[in-house]
Amino acid sequence: MRTTLATAVATATLLACAACTSSDPQDPDTTPATTPTPTVAATPTSTASPTPASTAVTADGVIDRTDEDLGIVFTDLPDVTGPAIDALNTYTLFETDFWKATTTSKVPDDLAQITSNSVFDTVKTQADTNKKNGYTIDGVNRIAIIDLKDTSSTKATIVTCQSDEDWVVTNKSGDTEKNLGPVVVTATVERPSGMPAWQVSTYTLGDAC
């Protein structure tokens, strides 16, 4: 998804990848121990390891993640084979999560599994900034796949034209912001060495399209 508009993005800037880091501190309670009574250690029960959400990108073909209820539409999805399938499916899952974060100001739980740290920070920065400055974003995000190139077993470059013409951006005063128009977005999707899952590692805004 392209980052938020002019004023919305004067604060939530057209990120060209500005990033910030955040953490969620936890304060666990510690209960003082009483004098222990010897017990026989229980044999731990084996449980299945949870499957990372990112493995959902693996499929026999390209997944069209168009969702009218969410307000995201993908067009011109190419008919690809081999590793390019998982690369493209990872990218469209990322764009879906990015749009969710933009419209709700909440970052989906699975986003960190399919992004590099810098791309995750880009999304989180936008969601946090929109919330802090009182922007609400609704409407339809339209993403057309222009090109999928430089594809190998561990890397692909995906170029899209993303249109905000059907976005509705409202500032904290209740006024609607002017949309900027379609823009080219280029993303690099990689599968880190030794890892089964792909990740969006770079995300860059370009010229109008």
Residue predicted with more confidence, 139 or 25: 139
Residue spans of alpha helices (H) in the chain: 8-11, 83-104, 117-132
In the structure, what pLDDT confidence band is assigned to residue 58 with cuts at 50, 70 and 90?
A: low
Q: Which domains does the chain have, with CATH numbers?
A: 8-17+55-208 (3.10.450)
Classify residue 124 as exposed, middle or buried by CB count within 10 Å of its CB (0-12, 13-18, 19+). Answer: buried
Q: What 3-state DSSP class applies to 199? A: strand
* DSSP strand pairing (155-163 vs 167-170): unpaired
Q: What is the pTM of this model?
A: 0.74
pLDDT of residue 192: 87
Is pLDDT above 90 for 172?
yes
Give the mean model confidence (pLDDT) for residues 111-138.
95
In angstroms, the Cα distances linking 20 to 36, 80, 94, 125, 179 are 46, 35, 18, 6, 25
> In angstroms, rounded to a whole number, what is the distance separating the alpha carbons of residues 172 and 132?
10
